[in-house]
Amino acid sequence: MPVACAPRPWHSLTMIKSLLFAALLAMTASAATAEELPVQRVFAAPALNGPAPRGVQISPDGSLVTYLKPEPTDQTTFDLWARPIQGGAERRLIEGAAVEPKTAVLTEAEKGRRERQRIAGDHGVVDYKWDEIGAQILVPAAGKLYLADAKTGASEWTMAGTNSGHAFGFAATGRLISIRGASIFRFAGGRIAQQRDYWSLQMLNAQLGIKTSGD
């Protein structure tokens, strides 16, 4: 059988209308004061949701987790970071801008490899490999191979290529070269404050067939 509903008091209806109107005004004010987000800002640095790590790996000895993380103000330059698995603060092992700045000239083969991996616009440390025992990390960057110590960040490297341009006052020889060296870094405030590279100029001259006054 039909049930008769008692009508709502007029003051209750007035209160509900007032609350709805106040909510509508708040939504309108919020929309009016919200800053418009340009499309360019979505893809600009820094990222809206913060830097996102990639290339996460566990060291073979199970002591560290390593990953690539972009610079806070540049999403395209990646550093190599490490954090102890048992807990502790993260630390930067290699600063990407130090081993491969944006001005670095890449070979066509390297450009093609990065395009296939969809990282053509990235710089710094874009790839790395652990050794078998978890003591060193191999990092290819800007035509060199860096072998970095997992504890200190000090690195050995190999530079290989073809002498196709003038160097040290001598014309191009067209010869292949392969030079080994080492880099020692001094950190300050979590960044590289100083870098020293050690390599043999005598070995380079010998591979290029250049004779100097001391030979």
pLDDT, position 164: 82
Strand partners, 11: none
Q: Which residues of the chain have pLDDT under 70?
A: 1-35, 40-52, 153-154, 168, 185-192, 212-215
Helical ranges in 7-77 per DSSP H = 10-33, 39-43
Over the chain, what is the mean pLDDT? Answer: 76
C-alpha span between 81 and 66 (Å, rounded): 6
Contact 165, 155 (CB under 8 A): no
Cis peptide before 60 (omega within 30 of 0): no
The gap between the terminal CA atoms of the chain, to the nearest Å, is: 116
Separation of alpha carbons 77 and 196, rounded Å: 21
Region of 184 (left: φ > 0; alpha: ψ -120 to 50; beta: rest) is beta
CB 144 within 8 A of CB 94: no
pLDDT at 36: 73
pLDDT of residue 23: 54
pLDDT at 56: 93
Cβ contacts of 194 within 8 Å, gap of 6 or more: 185, 186
Helix (H, G, I), strand (E, B) or coil at 140: strand
pLDDT over 70 percentage in the chain = 69
User: Which DSSP state fits 58?
Assistant: E
